[in-house]
Structure 1
Amino acid sequence: MELRMIKTFQTVVRLGSFQQAAEVLRYSQPTITMHIQKLESDLGTKLLFRGKTIQLTEAGRVFHERADQLLKDYDSLSSTLNDLVQGEAGQVRFGISEPTASSRMPGILSDFLSRHPKIQPSLKIGDSKMLNRLVIDEELDFAVCPSPELHVDTEFEPLLYEPMGLLVYDSHPLASRKDIMLHELKNEKFLLTPPNCPFRIRIEKQLYESLNEAFHGIEVSSILAHKHYVQAGLGISIAPILTVTPLVPGTRLIRIADLDFGPVAGILRKRSVKLGSAAEKLLGEIRDALRSENADRQLDDGLAIRLA
């Protein structure tokens, strides 16, 4: 039983004429007759009585009542499958780390979904280590995060450099400074991210090299919360500038002249996994947004940023 034969039957019943149905469907009249006969053969029952007028059999009435819904369901299924193929529908599971999760992604995702409303994204927010594991286990299609310690099965595409700064409270002795050197931070109490955080590891290395001594700190796992703890006078924070701006009242941001690194955000994915069309479309949108921001920042700041 072919859909074109069902459409032919419905058209014949609607118009009440084989000849008119042939004209509307652009078939010959013998083709219309053949479609009806083949449909009746497939169903094993007669659907129409032909005379001066066309009359439905009891089976024909039941089939006619349900065929419209069958055609609608088919059209809906066909449209859904076409959307999936074209990347206009489907689920996308992706991971994201801070600060991009809170500061960039809402705008990127809002704009994307306004143009692709049938795509259903699912976001998992976490650190690079956790997201790397989820990508390897194929629980995520891809992740947006700083480069983790890569697994043999994963690859990372760097896209955006995150500049760092020193956040202090208003009454801090350094609060009036525009820039400082790391060696000037002796005896300071720092707010620190978790030990496995990639840029904490880099910060600690540079602090040890600059201070030539141990330093003290309070661990506050969420980098986004640091500015509030600085505001309360609990310590100072070396953090990506995006995470501490806009500044909260009572805090100041200072440039660190000899801090020569910052985390690099990019796309993490599993090498062997071919993404669906919807996931590729969203990934491309995120890639373009991060590249554009990185290019704009270089122009604004006159920086030659390397993403290697």
Structure 2
Amino acid sequence: MEIRAIRTFTTIVKYGNFLKAAEALNYSQPTITLHIKHLEEEIGEKLLERGKILRMTEAGRLFYERATDLLREYDRLDKTLEDLEGGSAGLIRIGVSEPTASLEFPSIIADFVQAHPKVEISLHIADANTLSGMLFHDQIDFAICGAPEVSMENLFKPLYYDDIVLLVPNSHPLSEKAIAEIHDLRNETILFTPHNCPIRIKIEQIIVETIGSNYKKLEISNSMAHKHFVQAGLGVSLFTRTANSFALPGTKIMEIKGIEAAPVIGLLKKNNTIYGKASTHLLEMIDTYFSEKNALSKQETSI
């Protein structure tokens, strides 16, 4: 049953004759007649009584009631598919790790949502290893995160390399120094991300090589909670400059020598994935954001 034949039938009913319906649909009158003939043959019932006054049969009235609802839903679907093809509708499932999720992604999403108000966004915040598994099992479309330990056949494209800074309470003796060194961490309580975090592993290896085991550690799975624990005087934190882009009252961000680590933030996606227009636009916005951040970082370094 062709949708155009159904539309032809409802248009004939609307205008009351074949000629006006043909003009409204920009069809020839024989085409209109053929549409109705095929429709009646397919249904197995006569829909219209021809005469001086065109009348619907009982089957025609029943079919007309259902046909108008069907055409309304079809037009809605057609418009939705048109929006989807044009990139103005759809659902994008994104995985994001901290601190990017809290400190950087909101501004990116805000610009995107303004440009694509009909597109739905679903954000999943987790660590890189978890997001890699979600991507593999098709629970997200792509992720912005650190490099996972196991790629699970996913592709990782670096976007930005961060560096490590030290966060201390204002009351801590270290806060009086211009630049801290690894030796200054002797006997300190250091706040760490989880034991399987690649950057935490590298930082701790450097610390052990320098001061041995002469330090305490407090492991906190949520990296964005570190500054609150530092604020409470529970230790010092070694984490990314991005995470410490602002300090809480009572805390101080410090440079530290000797931590040669460059945490990476990148795009994690499946191999050979073809994205829709909306997703492609969002990925372009993300790429532009981190390109500008890289340029700004290089500019600050050269000053």
TM-score, scaled to structure 2: 0.90
Q: 1:10 to 1:137 in 2, by over 3 A?
A: closer
Gaps of 5+ in 2: none
Identity rate, percent: 44
Equivalent residue number for residue 134 of structure 2: 134
TM-superposed deviation, 1:274? 4.8
Q: 1:134 to 1:23 in 2, by over 3 A?
A: closer
Equivalent residue number for residue 100 of structure 2: 100
Q: Is the 8 A contact 2:135 2:269 kept in 1?
A: yes
Gaps of 5+ in 1: 304-308
Residue 248 (1) aligns with residue 248 (2)? yes
Range with bigger deviation, 236-245 or 274-283: 274-283
TM-superposed deviation, 1:83? 3.5
Residue 42 (1) aligns with residue 32 (2)? no
TM-superposed deviation, 1:146? 0.9
Equivalent residue number for residue 262 of structure 1: 262
Range with bigger deviation, 18-27 or 180-189: 180-189
- CA displacement 1:23-81 (0-9 Å, x = unmatched): 22222222222222222222212222222222222222222222221111111222233
Residue 208 (1) aligns with residue 219 (2)? no
List aligned pairs for 1:139-218, cutoff 5 A: 139-151=139-151, 153-212=153-212, 214-218=214-218
Q: Is the 8 A contact 2:185 2:215 kept in 1?
A: no
- CA displacement 1:93-140 (0-9 Å, x = unmatched): 332111011111222223222322333332222212222222233333
Q: 1:33 to 1:137 in 2, by over 3 A?
A: closer
Q: Is the 8 A contact 2:157 2:266 kept in 1?
A: yes
- CA displacement 1:220-240 (0-9 Å, x = unmatched): 222211111111211111111
List aligned pairs for 1:74-89, cutoff 5 A: 74-89=74-89
Q: Is the 8 A contact 2:174 2:184 kept in 1?
A: no
AA aligned opposite 2:27: Y
Query: Distance between the aligned counterparts of 2:274 and 2:241, measured in 1?
Result: 35
Equivalent residue number for residue 61 of structure 1: 61
Q: Is the 8 A contact 1:97 1:128 kept in 2?
A: yes
Equivalent residue number for residue 16 of structure 2: 16
Question: What secondary structure is seen at the aligned counterpart in 1 of 2:243?
Answer: helix
Question: What secondary structure is seen at the aligned counterpart in 2 of 1:113?
Answer: helix
Matched length: 303
Q: Is the 8 A contact 2:132 2:152 kept in 1?
A: no
TM-score, scaled to structure 1: 0.88
Question: What secondary structure is seen at the aligned counterpart in 2 of 1:290?
Answer: helix
TM-superposed deviation, 1:259? 2.7
Q: Is the 8 A contact 2:129 2:150 kept in 1?
A: no
Equivalent residue number for residue 220 of structure 1: 220
TM-superposed deviation, 1:165? 1.0
Superposed CA RMSD in Å reads 2.3
Question: What secondary structure is seen at the aligned counterpart in 1 of 2:172?
Answer: coil
Question: What secondary structure is seen at the aligned counterpart in 2 of 1:93?
Answer: strand
AA aligned opposite 1:89: A
AA aligned opposite 2:202: R
AA aligned opposite 2:286: I
AA aligned opposite 2:223: I
Query: Distance between the aligned counterparts of 1:140 and 1:56, measured in 2?
Result: 51
Q: 1:248 to 1:152 in 2, by over 3 A?
A: closer
Range with bigger deviation, 163-172 or 56-65: 56-65
Question: What secondary structure is seen at the aligned counterpart in 1 of 2:95?
Answer: strand
AA aligned opposite 2:54: I
Q: Is the 8 A contact 1:153 1:272 kept in 2?
A: no
Question: What secondary structure is seen at the aligned counterpart in 1 of 2:204?
Answer: helix
